Amino acid sequence: MGRPMTRPTLVLVALLSLALTLPANDALAQAPSDEPATVEGDRVAEILAGMSRRQKVGQLFMSRIYGYRAKSPAPGAVQANQRYLGVQDADELFERFPVGSVVYFGYTGNLRRPEQVARLSNGIQRAALDAGTVPALISTDQEHGSVERLGPPAVRFPGSMALGATRDVDLAREAARVTGEDLRAVGINGDLAPVADVNSNPANPVIGVRSFGSRPGLVSDMTRAQIAGFEQDARIASTVKHFPGHGDTSIDSHVGLPIIRHDERSWWKLDAPPFMAAVDAGVDIVMTAHVKVPALDPSGRPATLSKPILTGVLREQLGFDGVVMTDSLAMEGVRTTYGDARVPVLALKAGADILADPPHLPSAFRAVLAAVDRGEISEPRLDQSVERVLRLKERLGLLDDPFVDVEDVADALGTAEDEAVARAVGESATTVLRDSKGWLPLPKRWSVLVTGLKPEGGGALVNELERAGHDVTTRWAGVESGTRKIQRSVRMAREHDMTIVITKGLGVFPAQRKLVQRLLQRGGRVIVVFAGSPYDVTWFPRANTQ
């Protein structure tokens, strides 16, 4: 056993919790026209001209669908589809409501195995074509870290804040490329990423580590790099979110309506730069935020329903002429004032093109169709949004061939080369906050106790320590450990040269804080690994100031 040390060292570790770029041109700086393209020989213009009004309205909607099969899903999925969509499966969905986009979620049962996802994607595309409409844009939230949909053998990366900690734009681009290629292999042609929010509020309950960081310049650089990886390298659509910025909120827009209280000058300095960088990089899609920003629109409407924000700022001032997508219309942040049938109409009038995940698709669809029929939404305005969606699909190659080869999926995911990229990101993201005693790297042949929470990467950490020549003992305490377990870990620490305590979510789980506190009070060599949020370090400020 080594001699006791009285001052601990903190180490921040980001564990694996596991493109078609539009050319810049002068036209991007101009306000978009309300008139759709009518160039002779233009395939998109020809498709648009041949569409019925109902088909056009359908292109504006992104719908969830329950089940892991496009046809004949399990009884529970059929019931959910009937409740939300008024249909049983994908075939009926496109026959009744010819939606332009589909979104996959974990809770809808869409994502089991890679080959199954590929078959589901092919089934959805076949249903769209059989119904006489164009292939679907299929998207999911593959941000990595705390928001991840497609599981192994797809490569898993640390979340955005860990990626931001690398300060390496080349790694950020490579991570996006690998992610995009994995998604494309299973028929998902759009990622609802990257997150371009600058997380300026450490207490943010919904963004946090989903952001690349708190510095606008860093977030801008990483956002630009990931757009290139998705769009240029992997050839899928990327979606920056959540405009005009969700980083300084204390309310989760899933359950309420946050207010961003930055004045206009502060907004341009803090929140706008990543979105400006995204527009400059030719991002395909910008997703709106369900937040109030009085400095940009004093009316009190959430940004998703705000014409001054979506048309005035995003379209006219930032020069974005790609696809504007709403965040989920099932979130409470956009449902607090207006009825569910009215919200999609207001979003279109504000400047949105894709209406994502309404709480009840039939009601939303009928409301938009009725608004067009009575002239509240003009035919040119409708055509403008449909054209943007169709041109995105054309760029992605969906109008030529929307299908994927299921037999190729197994070889496409989890390659050694892709795993090497993930390892490089994980190693580069590891950040040492304090090592005044020079304990890192650990001397060989030390006895090491690893305690605290066992994260997904805990086994890998133990293996690496053993390969480095250390004698490792594990005593996982868990997030809700009682006094006896904590005391046992503290007693065992006395018998080892070094104690590594892994934590995650110190603000939520007081037992973890108690364990760390007891270990630090005991003295000795202690390394604290924050495996979730770097903001957890604020719980132990004294230990971080040696």
Catalogue the active-site residues. 327
Q: Could you tell me if 246 and 293 are in contact, meaning their C-beta atoms sit under 8 angstroms apart?
A: no
Residue 139's DSSP bridge partners are 103, 190
DSSP 21-44: PPPP-GGGGSPPPSSPP--TT-HH
What is the C-alpha to C-alpha distance for residues 511 and 91, in angstroms, rounded to an integer?
50
What is the C-alpha to C-alpha distance for residues 111 and 517, in angstroms, rounded to an integer?
40
> What SS3 state is found at 6?
coil
Q: Could you tell me if 278 and 223 are in contact, meaning their C-beta atoms sit under 8 angstroms apart?
A: yes
Residue 186's DSSP bridge partners are none
Q: Which helix (H) or strand (E) holds 62?
A: strand 61-64
Q: How many CB atoms lie within 10 A of CB 67?
A: 23
What is the C-alpha to C-alpha distance for residues 227 and 219, in angstroms, rounded to an integer?
12
Contacts of 140 (CB under 8 A, 6+ apart): 103, 104, 105, 111, 149, 150, 183, 188, 191, 192
Angle between helices 483-493 and 510-522 (to 10 degrees): 30
Q: How many CB atoms lie within 10 A of CB 376?
A: 13
> What SS3 state is found at 501?
strand
Burial profile 274-307: b = 16 or more Cβ within 10 angstroms, e = fewer: bbbbbbbbbbbbbbbbbbbbebbbeeebbbbbbb
What is the C-alpha to C-alpha distance for residues 340 and 353, in angstroms, rounded to an integer?
17
SS3 labels along 407-454: HHHHHHCCCHHHHHHHHHHHHHHCECCCCCCCCCCCCCCCEEEEEECC
Of 218, 222, 216, 217, nearest in space to 245 by CA: 216
Of 78, 70, 128, nearest in space to 104 by CA: 70
